Amino acid sequence: MDIERINENTLKLAISYNDIEERGFTKDEIWYNRDKGEELFWVMMDELNDDQFEINGPLWIQVVAKEVGLELTVTVVSNPGDFFNEAPFDASNKDGQFGNLFDHESIADMKAEFAEEEAVLLEEIVFELAQFDDMIPLAASISESFDAINELYVMDDQYYLYIDLRSLSDIDQQQDYLSPIREFSTPSKKTIHLLQEYGKVIMEVDSFKLTREFF
């Protein structure tokens, strides 16, 4: 496990899936079992020395799934209202007073809510289509200059549009591109990791271009 001190109140922890398995957990357990996710977190925190990070208040934890493992940013919260207006995790209680730390839908839900209501810079987002046919006018409304990776997935007979926004570093530019997409779809709680593992990709890399060419 790698540890990076960001500031007095924040640590960044990186742990590979191999390291997770060495600690007695599986990848599926930490994503789909709340208790196991919390247990892994406290195992990781117990490995820290007291002089590395002192937990003296509620915690805010951000979890990012990487290809090789997880990256956690852990912050001791002095003003809980600064964090999405949600209650932070109670570090004083390891039993039952803890949100689902590794709940992929909770994390994606926050992304979807931000994309819909706030002008924030996003790295990626997933949209849900009511039907495949909605992809046709959607693709037609997107400028051909749009060069961000966009892929169409299907899972449980539902179509999902994944967009990698990391090539767009300007908030206004992101919002300009996302605006017409919202007219034909809605932000989804599903994550790209879930779609890649349990869904099927229908159109890779540039689904907008492929849709315009074949439909």
Residue 210, pLDDT score? 92
Domain 105-214 has CATH 2.102.10.10: no
Among residues 162, 166, 157, 155, the alpha carbon closest in space to that of 181 is found at 162
Residue ranges of alpha helices (H) inside the chain are 17-22, 27-32, 34-46, 104-117, 135-141, 171-184, 192-198, 207-214
Residue 136, pLDDT score? 92
Count Cβ neighbours within 10 Å for each residue of 32-52 and write b for 16 or more, e otherwise: ebeebbbbbbeebbeebeeee
DSSP SS3 for 63 = strand
Residues of the chain with pLDDT under 70: 49-52, 55-57, 77-121
Residue 65, pLDDT score? 76
Residue 77, pLDDT score? 66
Give the CA angle between residues 104, 77, 7 to the nearest 5°. 95
Domain boundaries defined on the chain: 2-102, 105-214
Give the CA angle between residues 20, 151, 118 to the nearest 5°. 80
Determine if the pTM surpasses 0.75: no
Query: Could you give the CA distance from residue 82 to residue 15 in angstroms, rounded to a whole number?
Result: 27
Residue 179, pLDDT score? 83
Residue 95: which region, alpha, beta or left (left: phi > 0; alpha: psi -120 to 50)?
A: beta
Residue 116, pLDDT score? 47
Residue 159, pLDDT score? 94
Residue 72, pLDDT score? 84
**Residues facing 127 on adjacent strands:** 161, 187
